[in-house]
Structures are given as C-alpha cells and as structure tokens.
A and B are shown apart, each in its own frame.
Chain A
C-alpha cells in the first residue's frame, strides 16, 4: 500500500515539478541573492549598448524588458521576465556631476516578502545585473504617448497606480494583485486615457488588451498557489492570464501608431 501511495506521490510531484514555469518577473538585483551570470564588464558594456540604442532613436520614454530566466525555462508565449520604464534623464552623480542617461522605473518584487512589491528606480546596469540571457526587449511608444507617459511617471498618479500585493501571474483585467507588467500596462493606459481612475483603466484593458494565457498546467498552478505566497489564483476568475512584455508590445503596435519594438543583443 505504501508503495502505491509513494508511486502516486512521485508521479504527482514529477508532473507538477520543474522545469520551472518561470514567468518570472520583477527581482531587484540590489536586494542580493543572485549570482552574476556574466562578468561585470560584460553587463556594463551591454547596458551601455542598450542606452545608446534608446538614445539613437530619440526615446524619452521606453518600455524596457530583460530575461531573468533562460528561454527553456519559460512557459510557451513568454520570453522576457521583467519590464519597466526607461526615462531619459539628467542624472546627478554622487560627486555632483550632471550626466544624461536613462533611469529605469520598476515595480520590483520584495525579496524578503515575495507576495509584495515596491516601486524602485535604478539604472540600466542595475536592471541587467542579474540576467540569465543578454537580450533587451524595447518598446518605443509614439512621441505623443511618450509625452503622456512622462506626465504620468512624474505625477502622483504613478505611485497611486501601484498595488503592493504581488502575484507573479497577476491578472491584468482585475484588481487586487499586480506584477511588473500589469503595472506597466496600467501606467500605459493611464497615459493613453490621461486618467488616474483605475476603473477606467481596467475597463479599457478589458476592452482592448489581449492578455497572455498562462501556459502552465492547472495542477502546477494550484500547488504553486498553495505553497508559494507569490502566486495566487484569487484574481483569476477564469483561465489564468497575465500581461507580458510581448502582449504589451502587440497592444501598442495595434493602437499606438508610430510605436516600435525591437531587441538588443550583445556584440558577437
């Protein structure tokens, strides 16, 4: 009898186990806990390449994404694991100089409390510090949307749109939980509609945005939600869906005339 139970448990465990369905969003490299996959020089060079690609396009505000996991570990339909806003800025260094560059505005999962998040501003080299793969996803919105995004990012609306309760697979159509990509989408729609009314933002999201189905077995999701505080199904009334960098790119490609998306890869 024990052998049968043991076999069933083994089958259950192995069918719901890794390869990790790493939708994987939102870790802050400065919170520690990650070993660098690449030499510091490599990260620095790549980050500067990304900055120069943004600057060459004249991007004041862009959506920037990274790969925190190898592609083989990601569910079908997902490629990038974290996204934030890159904002062209005047940066004051600790020694008092003022330099042009990009500041990144992120929603990061709190390492010490994985079911919560915080809004954190860092820089490209911090953003890419712990990546698994050197590839940057970039969406450059139209000039009009960039201007509206900047208005939101520099206003109290930006912080007001933050929902600190974090779920890695947060449903972008509902309230209660948020991940980095849902936050990006909420800010985008706040900018598009020039509103801070979250009900209007969610109504527009439901009507026009196509979320990514979470291609992970229901059993795995169920046990993930039972044993991991950073995954919840309570905001998923139906088949689990979430916002991804790719789905946001498709949304803007469809509705924001003049926007463009592309990837930056390291030098060969």
Chain B
C-alpha cells in the first residue's frame, strides 16, 4: 500500500469516523456516507421504504388510533389520556383481528409528487 501524505490523513480520519459512525443503524445517511468513502449516496427515491411504496403493494395510511382492550385506559400521572378508541369486543390476550392488507406511512407517488419536498413527517 503506497499512500501519499494527504491520503494517509484521509485514511486515518476516515477510519476513525467509520468506527464512530458504526453505531448508526443501517439506514442512516451518515452510515451510508461512511460506506461510500465520505460521499453521501442518500437519495430518497432509492430508499427501501420508497421501494415498497413504489411496488404498489402497500396502502398509505393517514392516521392510527390505538385500540384499548375493554375500552379502559388508565390515565398516566400528570397527563390526560387522548385519542384511544374503545374495542370492547375482545378481552386482553385474546387473538386480535389482522387483515392481509399492508399499510405504510409513505404517501403514494402521486401524492409525493404534489409535495414540494417529500420528507417524512416527524413527530406523532
């Protein structure tokens, strides 16, 4: 291996950065950037989640409300509980209904194209 001085500095720094960024989950831009030698390869259109949305096999969701067993949700200390639908038909630990349809948080492509910037909605 024959590296010039500047390449050595890059190599050393890159290695250290890699050891730190190694703690990031496989999906983060930072980790991808390390993998790509410092060049960010992140493009939202190429992400795994976008690929699933683009497959047309997942239905886009706009809201989810927790379903409470027996319709009883005790309030947390110092906070009032909010937005819990009552599912009084099933007691705790009884099998629950799940359909075969796949739900995603990603908007469909036509909706995403209407947005100025297709960014995921953070927060809940």
Contact surface of A with B, Cβ cutoff 8 Å: 6, 9, 12-14, 16-18, 20-37, 40-41, 43-44, 47-48, 51-52, 54-60, 68-69, 73, 81-82, 87-95, 99-103, 105, 108-112, 114, 118-126, 129-132, 143, 146-148, 150-157, 159-160, 168-169, 190-191, 194-197, 220, 223-228, 230-231
Contact = CB atoms under 8 A, between A and B. Distances in A.
Contacts of B42: 31-33, 111
Contacts, number: 364
Sorted nearest first, the 3 A-B pairs with minimum C-beta distance are: A228-B20, A224-B20, A20-B22
Given A17-B15, A44-B57, A105-B124, A33 B23 contact: no
B84 interface: yes
Contacts of A23: 23
Interface string B86-123: 01001011111111111111111001000000001111
27 contacts: A20-B18, A25-B24, A26-B25, A31-B120, A34-B32, A36-B52, A40-B55, A55-B95, A88-B67, A88-B96, A89-B67, A90-B85, A94-B111, A100-B96, A109-B28, A118-B123, A120-B120, A130-B49, A143-B69, A147-B74, A154-B82, A155-B76, A156-B82, A190-B76, A194-B77, A196-B78, A196-B79
A146 B64 contact: no
Contacts of B52: 36, 40, 43-44, 125-126, 129
B76 to A, nearest CB: 4
A91 B63 contact: yes
Contacts of B102: 44, 47-48, 125
A119 B99 contact: no
Nearest to B85: A90
Contacts of B96: 54-56, 58-60, 88, 100
Given A58-B92, A220-B19, A223-B19, A131 B97 contact: no
A113 to B, nearest CB: 10
Given A94-B59, A94-B62, A155 B17 contact: no
B99 A103 contact: no
Contact of A9 (B8, B41, B100): B8
B23 A155 contact: no
Nearest to A30: B120
Contacts of B22: 18, 20-22, 24, 73, 224
A153 B66 contact: yes
Nearest to A132: B26
A51 B102 CA distance: 10
B19 A17 contact: yes
A150 B68 contact: yes
A84 B54 CA distance: 25
Given A30-B44, A60-B92, 16 more contacts: A21-B23, A25-B24, A30-B106, A60-B67, A94-B61, A111-B27, A120-B122, A122-B105, A125-B104, A126-B104, A130-B47, A150-B68, A151-B75, A197-B77, A230-B21, A231-B23
B65 to A, nearest CB: 5
A13 B15 CA distance: 6
A147 B19 CA distance: 40
B9 to A, nearest CB: 9
Instruction: Please indicate which of the listed interface residues A111, A120, A130 has the most CB atoms of chain B within 10 Å of its own CB.
Output: A111
